[in-house]
Structure 1
Amino acid sequence: MALLTPEDLANMTNALVENDRLITELTNYSLDGLCRKIYGTAPNNEKVAIIPITAGNGIIGSFSESLLFTVQHFGMDGFITENTDVAGYYEAVMKGADIILMADDLAYIAHNLKNSKIAHNQICTGRIYAEILCNAKDYADDKDVLVIGLGKVGTPAVETFLKEKQNVYVFDVDSNRVDEVVSEYPVSKYDPTDSKTPNSFFKIFEATPCADTISKDVLKQNSLVSTPGIPCGISDELIEKYSIRVVLEPLGIGTLSMLYAVFD
């Protein structure tokens, strides 16, 4: 997955609120309610510290502020440390933080200092975006799902779909990666020339750093696309033409999934 930019986060707060509304409409669960369901956990007055990290390409503008908005929007207590890196970690602990959120170029994690649980954004993002498709009530009778992108977000999504008894069809531009996944999991290659493979899908999961990965050939009217990928993998034209509903938000959905993964 591509690193986020300040431009990606420019409308994050509105996007989180709108996607929470859409998820509720689709599943009858609010986003935090869906997280409670899938993780079996709940917040308990934890204090969340957000530590800006300067390693690698440095601090992404508005990243920490976006995390703080997410934490507070869902009723949790949070703060951004004044210091960065190790000094920020020390500050967080001294101020009584229960959970740490921090990210560099390679990993974005949540770490619960009280129970030692730790969660990685890529895994938790793949899981929550997959669960949105699995819990979408209007699509419950259709078990076929297309997964586009089999990287560090797409693979946890595949595992989630299988746990939820979905029929999983996979595609990646790297055919070797497709072969690896097919050999490891009970999934099928997406192959439109194979009569046993569905040509189009109501449920599509997309996790790539590329635009326009979702073609009209795989779409049905009123398909549901769940995509943590930035930029969006489906064009505005196709969204309008096929009345597609799209769950897409750059940071908050995955962050909330991480927090519930480390709650008790």
Structure 2
Amino acid sequence: MALLTPDDLQNMTDALVENDNLVRELTGFSLDRLCADVYKTEKKNEKIAIIPVTAGCGIIGRFSESLLFTVKHFGMNGFITKNTDVAGFYEAVTGGADIILMADDLAFIAYNLRNQKIAHNQICTGRVYAEILCRTKISNLMSKKEVLVIGLGKVGTPALETFLIEGYSVSVFDADSNRLNEVVADHADCSSGKVKPYDPNSNSQFDKIFEATPAANTVPESCLKNNSVLSTPGIPCGLSKALQEKYGVKIVQEPLGIGTLSMLYAVFDEK
């Protein structure tokens, strides 16, 4: 997945609120309650420190502020350290932080200083966006466990594993044919679900679609049904506006907050 830019985060706060409402409509869960159900954990007044990191390409504008909005929007206690990097970590620990949020060019993590749990954004993002689809109630299709996964990288792969654990039959596609063949071969003997390659030229249509790529127009019209649900952490959106409107597709997409919330619940204490 591509690194975020300040432009990606410009409307993040509105997008998080809108997606929280959409997830409620689709699943019956608010985003925080969904994460609590997924990880079987709960928040307990933890103090969350957000540490700006200058390594690599440096600090992304609006990134720390967007994290703080997410933390506070869901009723948690958080702060951004005045210092960066190691000095910021020292400030967080001596300031009584329970959980650290920090990111560089290679990893965005949550680390719980009290129980030593650690979570990686790519894994947690893939899982929560997949879990949203698993819990989506589309008319009478709750029992129809079929999904299309587009993009089999560091976010799409955890999503695939989540669908398989939930017993889904998964059609998969990746622009890298070698990666596609590797994933299909690795799951040839999977007993908890089925994995098969998706042919964009086929007439296979899906109520539920997961997309995790950094490219536009990756979701073909041929796979869409009326009122399909697309769960996509990918930026930009892989489905054109014209096709969204033509098929009435409901899209769960937000650049940062949903994945961050998933990370936090991954490191909270168990219920």
Specify the TM-score bucket, using the shorter chain as the normaliser. over 0.9
SS of the residue corresponding to residue 123 of structure 2 reads helix
- Indicate the residue corresponding to 1:155 in structure 2: 157
Question: What letter is aligned with 1:50?
Answer: I
Pairwise mapping of residues 243-254 of structure 1 onto structure 2 (< 5 A)?
Answer: 243-254=248-259
SS of the residue corresponding to residue 56 of structure 2 reads coil
1:99 and 1:259 map into 2 onto residues whose CA distance is: 8
For the pair 1:173 / 2:158, whether they are aligned, the reply is no
For the pair 1:232 / 2:234, whether they are aligned, the reply is no
Question: What letter is aligned with 2:15?
Answer: A
For the pair 1:127 / 2:127, whether they are aligned, the reply is yes
CA deviation vs aligned residue, 1:125-180 (integer Å, no higher than 9, x gap):
00000000000012413211000000000000000000111110100000110111
TM-score scaled by structure 2?
A: 0.95
Pairwise mapping of residues 30-45 of structure 1 onto structure 2 (< 5 A)?
Answer: 30-45=30-45
Q: 1:192 to 1:69 in 2, by over 3 A?
A: closer
SS of the residue corresponding to residue 254 of structure 2 reads coil
CA deviation vs aligned residue, 1:40-93 (integer Å, no higher than 9, x gap):
000001000000000000000000000000000000000000000000000000
- Indicate the residue corresponding to 2:112 in structure 1: 112
- Report if aligned partners of 2:200, 2:220 keep a CA contact under 8 Å in 1: no
Q: 2:198 aligns with which of 190, 203, 228?
A: 190
1:192 and 1:44 map into 2 onto residues whose CA distance is: 46
How many residues get paired? 261
Question: What letter is aligned with 1:130?
Answer: A
CA-CA distance at 1:109 after TM superposition: 0.1
SS of the residue corresponding to residue 137 of structure 1 reads coil
**Segments of 4+ moved more than 4 angstroms:** none
- Indicate the residue corresponding to 1:55 in structure 2: 55
CA deviation vs aligned residue, 1:87-111 (integer Å, no higher than 9, x gap):
0000000100000000000000000
TM-score scaled by structure 1?
A: 0.97
1:193 and 1:57 map into 2 onto residues whose CA distance is: 40
Q: Which runs of 5+ in 1 are unaligned?
A: none
Q: 1:144 aligns with which of 104, 123, 146?
A: 146
- Report if aligned partners of 1:46, 1:99 keep a CA contact under 8 Å in 2: yes
1:193 and 1:238 map into 2 onto residues whose CA distance is: 17
CA-CA distance at 1:183 after TM superposition: 1.3
CA-CA distance at 1:215 after TM superposition: 1.3
- Report if aligned partners of 1:35, 1:257 keep a CA contact under 8 Å in 2: yes
Question: What letter is aligned with 1:53?
Answer: V
- Report if aligned partners of 1:222, 1:243 keep a CA contact under 8 Å in 2: yes
2:4 and 2:66 map into 1 onto residues whose CA distance is: 12
SS of the residue corresponding to residue 110 of structure 2 reads strand
- Indicate the residue corresponding to 2:206 in structure 1: 201
1:125 and 1:108 map into 2 onto residues whose CA distance is: 11
Q: 1:192 to 1:70 in 2, by over 3 A?
A: closer
Question: What letter is aligned with 1:73?
Answer: H
CA root-mean-square deviation:
1.0
- Indicate the residue corresponding to 1:257 in structure 2: 262
SS of the residue corresponding to residue 91 of structure 2 reads helix
Question: What letter is aligned with 1:240?
Answer: E
SS of the residue corresponding to residue 131 of structure 1 reads helix
- Report if aligned partners of 1:148, 1:206 keep a CA contact under 8 Å in 2: yes
- Report if aligned partners of 2:50, 2:67 keep a CA contact under 8 Å in 1: yes
- Indicate the residue corresponding to 2:21 in structure 1: 21
Q: 1:206 to 1:193 in 2, by over 3 A?
A: closer
